[in-house]
């Protein structure tokens, strides 16, 4: 069963339903309430708690809290579920809804205006039409996370290096400007800066720990609306049990780095404006039973046990 996208207003929702746009079907059933112009002011009515919670569900660019995963033309349901599972381990599950962006939906609105993050997790060549649509998403303030994909822009090129090992040591830059070295599975490709004038826009997040210090994770801004992408040739989306690992040595090194893999992925998602905070589990409240029939009360208590 398909659901409707989180839209910015009921008026838009009615327009989209009347025009029977197919791509609206893969999104969430909830509607985003209309927010006041000044979202920084403190709500003062009886709906304070509800409004505050809903504000957290919409990012600063006004994007509804949908995360879309694109796994290409040949991507399977299993691939989608694999990436979805990793993301669910990182993001706040109460704030985001994750959907599969299928190939036939890429060129159809309204997903471009109704998603906070697009995850591209396919090594297939991105068609020119799809590339333009992804760039349009960025120009509207969208965020993109690329997992070993062929998607690139702003003078960044992807180059295959056949001599690279499957498992390599990386130097990862942390948000506090420190660096750590970890072993990760890589795609066999690296990033190169083809246009020197765009070098200042490219922020390296990780390099191979080799003589060439090849770029494998980069951050790229786009446009003037807050669009941004983090592109990775490191398989941060793959669980150690799903990898095709050749040697026991590689398996052991990846196992040691697995916890840090989630930590790095969370830091990337947070830098893209997503919430990865763990919600506190509310305390249990007591139940008081009142009964005028002691026999029935004892039967009920026995059933509860």
Whole-number pLDDT of residue 17: 46
Residue 290's pLDDT is 79
Q: Taking all residues of the chain, what is their mean pLDDT, rounded to a whole number?
A: 79
> Domain 10-304 carries which CATH code?
3.40.50.880
For residues 84 and 96, what is the distance between their CA atoms, to the nearest angstrom?
12
- Taking the C-alpha atoms of residue 214 and residue 156, their distance in angstroms, rounded to an integer, is 13
- Checking if the pLDDT of 304 tops 80, the result is no
Higher local confidence (pLDDT), 233 or 3: 233
CA distances from 291 to 11, 260, 299, 304, 305 (A): 51, 55, 11, 15, 18
Cα 186 off chain centre by: 19
8 A C-beta contact, residue 7 and residue 57? no
For residue 86, pLDDT beyond 50: yes
SS3 105: helix
The pLDDT of residue 185: 87
Rounded Cα gap, residues 177 and 180, in angstroms = 10
Which two tokens mark 25? Answer: 């079907």
pLDDT band for 242, please (50, 70, 90 cuts). low
Tell me what pLDDT residue 244 has.
Answer: 65
Domain boundaries, the chain: 10-304
SS3 153: coil
* pLDDT band (50, 70, 90) for residue 27: very low
Of 11-25, 91-105, 108-122, which gets the smallest average pLDDT? 11-25
Contacts 24+ apart (CB under 8 A), 269-273: 269/87, 269/90, 269/91, 269/117, 269/145, 271/175, 271/219, 271/230, 272/117, 272/143, 272/145, 272/228, 272/230, 273/59, 273/60, 273/61, 273/116, 273/143
pLDDT higher at 1 or 227: 227
* Confidence band of 211 (pLDDT split at 50, 70, 90): confident
Please report which confidence band the pLDDT of residue 166 belongs to, taking 50, 70 and 90 as the band edges.
confident
Mean pLDDT of 218-226: 92
- Number of residues written out for the chain: 305
Q: What is the pTM of this model?
A: 0.71
Which is higher by pLDDT, 167 or 67?
67
- Average pLDDT (228-251) is 83
Q: Which two tokens stand for residue 244?
A: 């095709």
Burial class (CB in 10 A: 0-12, 13-18, 19+), 136: middle
């Amino acid at each position: 069963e398909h659901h409707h996208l989180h839209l910015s207003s009921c008026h838009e929702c009615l327009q989209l339903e009347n025009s029977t746009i197919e791509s609206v079907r893969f999104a969430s059933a909830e509607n985003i309430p209309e927010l006041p112009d000044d979202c920084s002011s403190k709500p003062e009515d009886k709906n304070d708690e509800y409004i505050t919670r809903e504000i957290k569900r919409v990012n600063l660019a006004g994007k509804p809290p949908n995360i879309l995963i694109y796994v290409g033309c040949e991507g399977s349901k299993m691939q989608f579920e694999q990436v979805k599972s990793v993301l669910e381990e990182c993001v706040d599950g109460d704030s985001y809804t994750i959907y599969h962006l299928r190939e036939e939906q890429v060129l159809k609105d309204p997903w471009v205006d109704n998603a906070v993050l697009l995850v591209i997790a396919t090594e297939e060549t991105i068609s020119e039409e799809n590339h333009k649509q992804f760039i349009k998403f960025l120009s509207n303030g969208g965020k993109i996370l690329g997992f070993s994909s062929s998607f690139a822009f702003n003078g960044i090129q992807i180059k295959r290096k056949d001599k690279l090992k499957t498992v390599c040591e990386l130097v990862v830059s942390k948000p506090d400007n420190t660096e750590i070295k970890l072993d990760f599975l890589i795609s066999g490709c690296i990033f190169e800066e083809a246009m020197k004038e765009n070098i200042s826009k490219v922020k390296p997040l990780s390099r191979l720990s080799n003589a060439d210090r090849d770029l494998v994770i980069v951050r790229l801004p786009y446009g003037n609306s807050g669009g941004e992408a983090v592109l990775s040739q490191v398989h941060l989306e793959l669980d150690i049990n799903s990898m095709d690992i050749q040697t026991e040595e590689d398996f052991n090194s990846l196992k040691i780095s697995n916890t840090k893999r989630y930590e790095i992925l969370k830091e990337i998602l947070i830098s893209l404006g997503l919430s990865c905070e763990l919600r506190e589990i509310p305390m249990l409240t007591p139940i008081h039973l009142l009964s005028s029939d002691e026999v029935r009360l004892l039967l009920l208590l026995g059933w509860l046990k």
